[in-house]
Chains A and B, each alone.
Chain A
Amino acid sequence: MQDLANIFIKAVFIDNMVFAYFLGMCSYLAVSKTVKTSVGLGLAVVFVLGITVPANFMLENYVLKEGALTWLDDSFLNVDLSFLSFILFIAVIASMVQLVEMIVEKFSPALYSSLGIFLPLIAVNCAILGASLFMQERAYANITEATVFGLGSGVGWFLAIVGIAAIREKIRYSNVPPALRGLGITFIITGLMGIAFMSFMGIKLEDSKNSTDQVVNIEDNETELK
């Protein structure tokens, strides 16, 4: 459980999609003019990430990875399809987004009318593909971890876009140098927010086993200091 919390916190704050990796910047800059629309887009991103990351995790572990196809037949042991991952991940994302759009439209017209226009945008939001690729690179152990990572990344992105939208709403009343208005100041504010988020670096929730290790380490350090 603590492992999962750790992954979640790490994805939200430390490895924040926007501030640490600049993913999803395009829609982040384009749709952050008012808080209301940014909440809509943020929710849609959380939703889609929570679905596509586990879906791509299954794909990665049962189809693409070297030796992943052994559940079909032992002779596939040496088949490595990972060079296909880009094209398959993006296909999964595009079709998932389409599917989610249709399901939401059918069952919750109210949600659809608030998320509707943002859903197609999301297919080409790099944060979505980026999360799948990070999931592949970091090799999460099981599907729960992958899902938690996906949701965490989504929440991190949500926080970032809502934060910048709130600041941009206020900054309209400030006297920004003309050449810096609009895009320029948004960039610099994002940079400052990124520095603020960097203070989360180093946060780690320890599980009981590691924390005893840490105590030992501290004691070691103390003896060294003496």
Chain B
Amino acid sequence: MTDKKESLLSKKNLKLIKDPLDDNNPITVQVLGICSALAITVQLKPAVVMALSTFFVMCTANVVVSLMRNMIPSRIRIIIQLVVIATLVILVDQILKAFVYDVSKELSVFVGLIITNCIIMGRLEAFALANTPWKSFMDGLGNSLGYALPLIIVAFFRELLGAGTLFGYPIIEKLGLYELGYENNGMMILPPMALVTCGIYIWIQRMRNKKLIEEN
């Protein structure tokens, strides 16, 4: 156990958190977890709730699977991982239903779809099955932050430009832009614009970070 000697917040561990934010972002680089990410970015509130739920499920699932990693036969690992994730997602779903019912209604099936969010499966497969619990926790933390970042940025622009509000607060109206002839762009609320906004996010990210540019 060499990593016992390593301090808990050593450079290597911090890198596990930093990497997914940009260089190895789960959404824009690893292409994981797109499905849920795009569907709930019409407004900021559901996006934040979704990011928090994913954060909880991902960190816990990473730790649990990492603790069990030596006991799981590799042939049936997928179903075991699914069971672990599904249990956690049921917990999240029940909590959301109990405390923030309106948001849970809005997210509808997408809470359930955290189960098949490839980001979680992907990290379990790629990381938690081969690493110690603490490292897996850091990885889960990093990746869920990396998942939350584009999610919240896209939701910010879609809600601001599409509905003129932020967290439901009518910011454009308060600034008095409507009197100057500003109109909300109703198209931003429609599902296809999530893809285009996300595409532009990727464009900007890759212009800044040249090494992510693809060949084709």
Q: Which residue numbers of A lie inside 8 Å of B, CB to CB?
A: 19-26, 29-30, 83-87, 90-91, 94, 120, 123-126, 128-130, 133-134, 137, 172, 177-188, 190-195, 198
State whether B82 touches A94 (Cβ < 8 A): yes
State whether B203 touches A23 (Cβ < 8 A): no
**CA of A91 to CA of B115, assembled, Å:** 11
| B residues less than 8 Å from A19 (CB atoms) | 191-192
State whether A25 touches B34 (Cβ < 8 A): yes
State whether A179 touches B207 (Cβ < 8 A): yes
State whether B90 touches A83 (Cβ < 8 A): yes
Partner of A179, one of B83, B113, B203: B203
**CA of A179 to CA of B93, assembled, Å:** 38
Please report the total number of B residues contacting A with Cβ < 8 Å. Answer: 48
Q: Which residue numbers of B lie inside 8 Å of A, CB to CB?
A: 28, 31-39, 78-79, 82-83, 86-87, 89-90, 93-94, 108-109, 112-113, 115-118, 121, 190-196, 198-200, 202-204, 206-207, 213-216
State whether B86 touches A22 (Cβ < 8 A): no
How many A-B residue contacts, CB cutoff 8 Å? 144
| B residues less than 8 Å from A188 (CB atoms) | 195-196, 199-200
For B28, B38, B87, B116, the residue with the greatest tally of chain A CB atoms inside 10 Å of its CB is B116
Partner of B203, one of A21, A25, A177: A177
| B residues less than 8 Å from A192 (CB atoms) | 192, 196
**CA of A90 to CA of B191, assembled, Å:** 26
| A residues less than 8 Å from B196 (CB atoms) | 187-188, 191-192
State whether B112 touches A129 (Cβ < 8 A): yes
State whether B215 touches A181 (Cβ < 8 A): yes
State whether B34 touches A129 (Cβ < 8 A): no
Task: Tell me whether A129 and B113 are in contact in the complex, defined as CB-CB below 8 angstroms, given that A22-B39, A179-B213 are known contacts.
Answer: yes
| A residues less than 8 Å from B206 (CB atoms) | 178-180, 184
Min distance, Cβ B39 to any Cβ of chain A, angstroms: 5
State whether A86 touches B192 (Cβ < 8 A): no
**CA of A124 to CA of B122, assembled, Å:** 10
State whether A191 touches B193 (Cβ < 8 A): yes
Min distance, Cβ A56 to any Cβ of chain B, angstroms: 12
For A24, A180, A186, A193, the residue with the greatest tally of chain B CB atoms inside 10 Å of its CB is A180
State whether A22 touches B34 (Cβ < 8 A): yes
Chain B residue with Cβ nearest A94: B79
Task: Tell me whether A194 and B191 are in contact in the complex, defined as CB-CB below 8 angstroms, given that A124-B121, A129-B116, A133-B109 are known contacts.
Answer: yes
State whether A29 touches B118 (Cβ < 8 A): no
**CA of A192 to CA of B196, assembled, Å:** 8
Task: Tell me whether A86 and B86 are in contact in the complex, defined as CB-CB below 8 angstroms, given that A22-B194, A125-B116 are known contacts.
Answer: yes
Partner of A87, one of B83, B94, B191, B198: B83
For B78, B195, B203, the residue with the greatest tally of chain A CB atoms inside 10 Å of its CB is B195
